[in-house]
Structure 1
Amino acid sequence: MSSWWNEALPAPGIRTVRDMRAVLARPECPESGPLYYMYRDLARSAGDRHWLAGHRLRYDITVIPPHDLCGEYVKTKGHYHPVDPAGTGYPELYEVTEGKAQFLLQSRTLDDVILISAENGARVVIPPGYGHITINPSPDATLILANIVSTAFESEYGEYETLHGAAYYVMNDGSIVKNRHYPAVPPVRHIFAGKGRDAAGRACTGSLYSLIGRRAALAFLNEPEQYPDTFTGLTGG
């Protein structure tokens, strides 16, 4: 039980420095125990679980305590999503439920890199064709995220591992350092998502969990090609 989830929790998936070493700015960073925790496929009722499964969706929570990764903010490992049967990349929907987050997005073609700063209560959509990592930029506060994502695919970590992380590293002195293993990439675009809004500035009502049962609100996660307006204001230069 916890203050952010009132039901029984399954055992989490855990990422450690050893798991993350390939994507760190300083891979020699010493071992230091768990970095973050992933609670996957959650539901508050049998009815909610049935609805999610029937619509090929999953509700997750990720807990990222503050941590200094040898000068780099603690972050998730980073991955891309494959394309759906129509040839459009699967998106993902996040909500910051505690703390503040930074989402570092990069297009698979490496012609666009975005850093979204999100307050508690903000939502962030990962658009089709973008890889992403999530960063906890706080020295002392835990970041808790909820997300809803399609169960029709598996995340692809290989490119992040091969290139030693994202195109940029976000350091805890405020600097953003290009990853030397990448070719030329554009400067980082900055976007802010405030409380009760998404990264495109649109108002959001209710919690992310309250969208469960509302097919129209979540159908874009499995059929993104049918809902291009969902990604307006995020992609492009």
Structure 2
Amino acid sequence: MSTSTVGEKKSTSWLPLKLAGVSLITALLGLSQSACSAEKAVAIAPPALDEPVGTAHREVAVIAGGCFWGVQGVFQHVRGVENAVSGYAGGAANTAEYGQVSSGDTGHAESVQITYDPTTITYGRLLQVFFSVAHNPTELNRQGPDSGTQYRSAIFPQNPLQEKIAKAYIAQLDASKAFNAPIVTRIENNKAFYPAETYHQNYLTLNPSSPYIVINDLPKVEYLKQMEPTLYRADPILVGIAK
């Protein structure tokens, strides 16, 4: 998300209108049809291979699927998720900073670290939401209006079982032709996660009228509610509030 002002995206067509003080409705009416369309959700089968339901109540998953505002916002509404933190993964610690990551040259992807209760939701079901609702896994190095390797689709397994489940699920979805193009999601091992700056946390909840959020991310939360009603929670679990 290359920016000229904190929290807004220079690459999107609505930014000049926002800076000029044009109303949200006027801005939306002036956008092209393609810019007004969020990534569409796709109904997919759950993974055939998943982690067994054990007695542990806390596990961690790290994923990347475009701008972390929307990915975080979706998973904050998923039952069983205890925390979802926006951040960076794939690069070095000394480049895990928004300005540097936005260059696309650090190896980092805008990512979300999800802490979840596997007795309530499994890793495989998290990946189902990730592939189905949170982003389009067939887009290479881009999502919606954002492009660059920092917006790539990636999974950062935290253990060998997560890697096995992720690889098997991608193969399952490709074999079933669940999407109209092959999945380009990368599996990246042994990559640390670094939390993003405070102003990126809870961005969807704190800025629900931002044109970027209205166009690209709020539809994803609605897709989650419609397509996975048993997983949807109305009150998001927010960074700094989660217990």
Pair in the same fold by TM > 0.5: no
Give me the TM-score of the superposition, normalised by structure 2: 0.28
Q: TM-score, normalised by structure 1?
A: 0.29
**Higher share in helix:** 2
Higher relative contact order (CA 8 A, sep 6+): 2
